[in-house]
């Protein structure tokens, strides 16, 4: 099931990720859900996409990686 809006994302994503990271998650999930049959796999792909650009800091908050 693809997500049309960030507001449709799982609470774990909406409550923890910055807006830009939520957008990355949504786009990656939607793309992966077209390629893979299992929703679980699409979620894993989406988290991997977020982790390419974001990391957790010492306060356990998601922050953009420095380039």
Q: Any alpha helices (H) in 7-59, and if so which ranges?
A: 11-14, 19-35, 39-53
Look-up of token digits 């693809």: 2
Q: What pLDDT is recorded for position 67?
A: 74
The pTM of this model reads 0.93
DSSP state of 59: T
Instruction: List the structure tokens of 38.
Output: 């299992």
Weakly modelled stretches of the chain, pLDDT under 50: none
Q: What pLDDT is recorded for position 16?
A: 96
Q: Is the Cβ–Cβ distance between 17 and 62 less than 8 Å?
A: yes
Q: What pLDDT is recorded for position 65?
A: 96
Q: Can you tell me whether residue 62 is helix, strand or coil?
A: strand
Give CA–CA dist 37/35, Å, rounded.
7
Ranges of each domain in the chain? 17-34+42-53
């Amino acid at each position: 099931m693809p997500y049309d809006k960030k507001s449709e994302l799982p609470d774990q994503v909406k409550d923890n990720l910055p807006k830009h990271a939520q957008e990355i998650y949504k786009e990656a999930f939607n793309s992966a859900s077209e390629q893979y049959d299992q929703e679980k796999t699409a979620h894993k792909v989406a988290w991997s996409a977020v982790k390419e650009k974001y990391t957790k800091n010492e306060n356990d908050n998601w922050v953009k990686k420095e380039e």
